Amino acid sequence: MNDARSWEYVGFWKRFIASIVDTLLLLAITLPILYLTYGRAYWGSGKAINGLVDILMTYVFPAIAVIWLWRRFGSTPGKMMFQARIVDAVTGDAPSTGQLVGRYFGYFVSTLPLCLGLIWVAFDARKQGWHDKLAGTVVIRSTQADNTPTTYQPRA
């Protein structure tokens, strides 16, 4: 394992900005498709679900895209801006696909009580949100000048 001084936990504000970037990128993909499929009526329909394309673009595509990015790159484009990546909280290795799926669905748990599980990142010593705790992950970034990959060294 690399020296623990070569990485740091990524805190609330960087993760918040990363989530805004990721949300805008997803919207740039999904909204035009929804508009082309349903037209302007989509936004004024008052329906919770407007059809199969709505389900696919609103729920399925974002889940698959985010989990795939985490699995392939250890990060989303927003996190990549900060050279941040998701690692297993114990080993520092890439999380399993099961952990990443659990982390994604953990976001729903984190947002239900007034986003308290997301805000938790600001106060937690390891900067873990509830979704990280549920999945056994942490978000870190290299502090080495060359940004070579580092692994998480658990503290005793």
CA distance 54 to 98: 26
* 28-to-16, 23, 150 alpha-carbon distances in Å: 18, 9, 32
pLDDT string in tens for the chain (156-residue length): 345 558 999 999 999 999 999 999 999 999 999 999 999 989 988 888 999 999 999 999 999 999 999 999 999 999 999 999 999 999 999 999 999 999 999 999 999 999 999 999 999 999 999 999 999 999 999 887 655 554 444 333
Strand partners, 141: 8, 84
Q: What is the pTM of this model?
A: 0.87
For residue 65 the two structure tokens come to: 């895209």
Going by C-beta distance under 8 Å and a sequence separation of 6 or more, which residues neighbour residue 22? Answer: 66, 76, 77, 78, 79
Domain residue ranges of the chain, discontinuous segments joined by +:
9-142
